[in-house]
Amino acid sequence: MAAFAAECDRGRSVVDLGAGVGAVALALSHFAPGARLELVERDDTLATLAEENLSLAHADGHVHRVDLEQHGLPEALRGKADLVVSNPPYFEPGTTREPSQPRQRAADVGSLSPFLRAAAAALGSRGRAAFVYPARSLPLLLARAESAGLAAKRLRLVHSTAQSPARLALIELRPGKSGGLSIEPPLVEWCEPGKRSSELGALTEGRAVGRT
């Protein structure tokens, strides 16, 4: 996710919506040293861990404890982001059996639209957003993005193996009308059982990778 997002823009201002403990934002700081990281997270425990992780990494950033569905994007973050990243809940309410644990339920189940509206509000005029979402729900993501005023410009599908269906979609969005979508070669994670593909290996080790 971070490597895909870094190809969008290695900007000075990054907003992570639904940041959890800050893993994606901190990985992005590897690609864009010195970027200002603004993390938005509604869960108090995760937000505290994100604050600790920012401090440990000596990263320039702040954690905003906000429920996007209830309150929307904080005014201080509007219109200023070069890059927005988001790994939102993968299941709309009522579409799956919800986990019994409240924290897991909050992470897995939730409306996509508040994240897309927040991304649109956060972006500056030339900013870009990167989302990861289940590939099977790509039509929903595209429709909701258009409703939020965001157009898909770049798409990459993630497959467990070369023979398996896509499981995740990595997508770059920009403010504006639809058109000009670039579909990139797929990312295949495993070349055989227990053996990562060369690209996934490079990504997990933090190395730059050239695509074939």
Domain assignment of residue 45, yes or no: yes
Q: pLDDT class for 69, splitting at 50, 70, 90?
A: very high
The predicted structure's pLDDT at residue 92: 81
The predicted structure's pLDDT at residue 119: 98
CA dihedral over 73, 74, 80, 83, signed as positive or negative: negative
CATH number at residue 69: 3.40.50.150
For residue range 83-117, what is the model confidence (pLDDT) as tens digits?
999 999 998 876 666 555 555 545 577 899 999 99
The boundaries of the domain holding residue 19 are: 2-185
Domain assignment of residue 210, yes or no: no
Domain assignment of residue 31, yes or no: yes
Please give the Cα distance from 25 to 8 (Å, whole number): 14
Domain count, the chain: 1
The β-bridge partners of 97 are: none
Going by DSSP bridges, is the β-strand pair 123-134/166-175 parallel, antiparallel, or unpaired? antiparallel
Which segment of 10-24, 46-60, 137-151, 158-172 scores lowest on mean pLDDT?
Answer: 10-24
Domain assignment of residue 154, yes or no: yes
Are 171 and 179 contacting, i.e. CB atoms less than 8 angstroms apart? Answer: no
Domain assignment of residue 162, yes or no: yes
pTM of the predicted protein model? 0.88
Domain assignment of residue 179, yes or no: yes
Please give the Cα distance from 43 to 57 (Å, whole number): 21
Domain assignment of residue 191, yes or no: no
